[in-house]
Amino acid sequence: MHKLTLILLSAILLGCGNIHNIRKTDTHAEKAVTAELTFMTFNIRAAGGMQNPVSSPDLVEETKESLTKIAAAINSVDPDFIGLQEVRGIHQAKFIAEQLNLNYVYAVHARESWWGQAVLSRYKIIDVRTKIINLGGKYGDRIALMATMDINGKKLRVINVDFVPENYKGQVNETIPLLNPIEGPVVLLGDFSRRPEYAKMVTIRERMMAACEDVENYEGQCIDPVYVKIDCIFVDPNYVKVLAAEPVSMKHGDTTAPTGSWATIKLK
């Protein structure tokens, strides 16, 4: 491999995206570390509005209206942490974060600089890193975006991924080492392109549990209307208790393309 390419990939593997702690103090009381925390994963399909959900996100045209409606759908849940996938540029992450008064970080997919992922947080983001989990193939490059938050003096790490069908086992294998709770609880969320029951996800499921499996009426939970149950939130039952989990509702918007789910947990 060309030396310059190796340097670039090493930088992506170890590098950090820019942290934007922009949240302004308001009347919303910050939740204590022992209180309930709500997580959301949301594939916004480049924020294109009423587009064919299978169309390529690089062809989808965003509008201020569609971005605003996506922000409204997120706000209807009022989550503490959000992982966004298929985000076309930092301007989309910035717009949504500013609408919701949340801190945020954005990172691109390895060599595909036109799009990436974002993590938004009600709490201060103190560290962010990326790791390449897939290079090349029909569906392109992918990263895991890892953001560490300070929750009233305690640390929590959110890992945001966007798996592709090709090299699935390889993506799982690259993600597994990231799940160790070194400094505190870890929550893995994202678009997994497969249901949690998928056989190649077994090593993730040996360590973590899909939040929607820990609530009553499991078969009716986390079923989004477009891609079924592939936008998931995984938690370690040794550290958290799941209180609720449901799919993201777009009743406040008019787009059928974005998909996701949310879960409310309590730290043990």
Q: Which amino acid is at 210?
A: A
Instruction: Supply the pLDDT for residue 207.
Output: 92
How far, CA to CA in Å, does 155 sit from each of 123, 130, 267? 10, 18, 12
Pairwise CA distance, residues 83 & 190, whole Å:
7
Pairwise CA distance, residues 82 & 54, whole Å:
23
Pairwise CA distance, residues 260 & 266, whole Å:
20
The domain locations on the chain are 3-17+32-267
Give which of 79, 38, 17, 72 is closest to 258, Cα–Cα: 72
Instruction: Supply the pLDDT for residue 55.
Output: 61
**% helix / strand / coil in the chain, to the nearest 5?**
25, 35, 40
- Tens-digit pLDDT string for the chain (268 aa): 444 444 444 444 444 468 999 999 754 555 555 578 999 999 887 776 545 555 676 777 778 888 898 898 899 899 999 999 999 999 999 999 999 999 999 999 999 888 999 999 999 999 999 999 999 888 889 999 999 999 888 899 999 999 999 999 999 999 999 999 878 899 999 999 888 778 899 999 999 998 887 776 555 555 554 445 678 899 999 998 999 888 776 554 444 555 788 999 998 8
Instruction: Supply the pLDDT for residue 66.
Output: 84
Provide the strand spans (E) within the chain. Answer: 19-20, 36-43, 81-87, 103-109, 112-121, 124-134, 142-151, 154-162, 186-191, 209-210, 231-235, 240-247, 259-267
> What single-letter DSSP state applies at residue 228?
B
User: What are the two backbone dihedrals, phi and then psi, of residue 242, each rounded to the nearest 5 degrees?
Assistant: -85, 130
For the domain covering 3-17+32-267, report its CATH number: 3.60.10.10
Prediction pTM value: 0.86
Q: Which amino acid is at 202?
A: V
Pairwise CA distance, residues 200 & 245, whole Å:
23
Cβ contacts of residue 244 below 8 Å, gap of 6+?
Answer: 215, 263, 264
Give which of 143, 152, 136 is closest to 118, Cα–Cα: 143
Instruction: Supply the pLDDT for residue 90.
Output: 95
Helix (H) or strand (E) holding 64: helix 64-75
Structure tokens at 253: 């918007």
Pairwise CA distance, residues 189 & 182, whole Å:
18
Pairwise CA distance, residues 255 & 115, whole Å:
20
Instruction: Supply the pLDDT for residue 108.
Output: 96
Query: Are 149 and 81 in contact, with CB atoms under 8 Å apart?
Result: yes
Instruction: Supply the pLDDT for residue 6.
Output: 42
Pairwise CA distance, residues 97 & 119, whole Å:
9
